[in-house]
């Protein structure tokens, strides 16, 4: 049961991260600025909370609620979520470059760090899934 819940919340997290990334990229491409949204009609902080922090927390939860259950598929989903976080920051830096204030760069650094931790959890999930007790 916990595995099914973990898979569902991981998929939801990935969907939320894709929506967040799409909105951020559209805002940049349409030259709306870093503090704007494209199709999500909400404050940038609310967007970051709902479509960024919550998915990260859900991915971490999905690992911990199934830490004793093997599931390479869940490990892959967790890695995808973490990779989306890291790639999203990289893409924003590539599109915005030097126009990002130093405070924003530190926040992006934290997001990359969290994304790397999530990727590591996904890798650990896959590794533990391959080890079978004798």
Cβ-contact 82, 59 below 8 angstroms: yes
Of 46, 35, 4, 100, the residue nearest 16 (C-alpha): 46
Quick one: pLDDT band at residue 39, thresholds 50, 70, 90?
confident
Top-confidence residue, 82 or 91: 82
pLDDT at 49 over 70: yes
pLDDT the model gives residue 20: 87
Q: Is the pLDDT of residue 62 over 80?
A: yes
| Each residue's pLDDT tens digit, 106-133 | 777 888 999 999 999 999 999 998 866 5
Q: How many CB atoms lie within 10 A of CB 12?
A: 16
Residue 105 has pLDDT above 90, yes or no: no
Q: What average pLDDT score do residues 17-26 get?
A: 86
Structural domain boundaries of the chain? 2-130
Angle at 116 between CA 111 and CA 120, to 5 degrees: 150
What's the rounded mean pLDDT across residues 71-88? 95
Query: Higher model confidence: residue 132 or residue 49?
Result: 49
pLDDT band at 78 (very low <50, low <70, confident <90, very high): very high
Give the predicted TM-score (pTM) of the model.
Answer: 0.86
Range with top average pLDDT, 40-44, 91-95, 119-123, 130-134:
119-123
């Amino acid at each position: 049961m916990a595995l099914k819940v973990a898979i569902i919340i991981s998929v939801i997290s990935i969907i939320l991260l894709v929506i967040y990334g799409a909105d951020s990229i559209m805002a940049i491409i349409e030259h709306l600025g870093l503090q704007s949204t494209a199709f999500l009609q909400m404050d940038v902080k609310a967007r970051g909370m709902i479509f960024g922090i919550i998915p990260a927390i859900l991915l971490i939860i999905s690992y911990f609620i199934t830490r004793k259950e093997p599931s390479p598929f869940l490990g892959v989903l967790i890695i995808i979520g973490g990779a989306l976080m890291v790639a999203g920051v990289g893409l924003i830096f590539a599109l915005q470059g030097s126009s990002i204030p130093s405070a924003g760069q530190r926040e992006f650094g934290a997001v990359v760090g969290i994304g790397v931790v999530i990727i590591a959890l996904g890798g650990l999930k896959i590794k533990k899934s391959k080890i079978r007790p004798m």
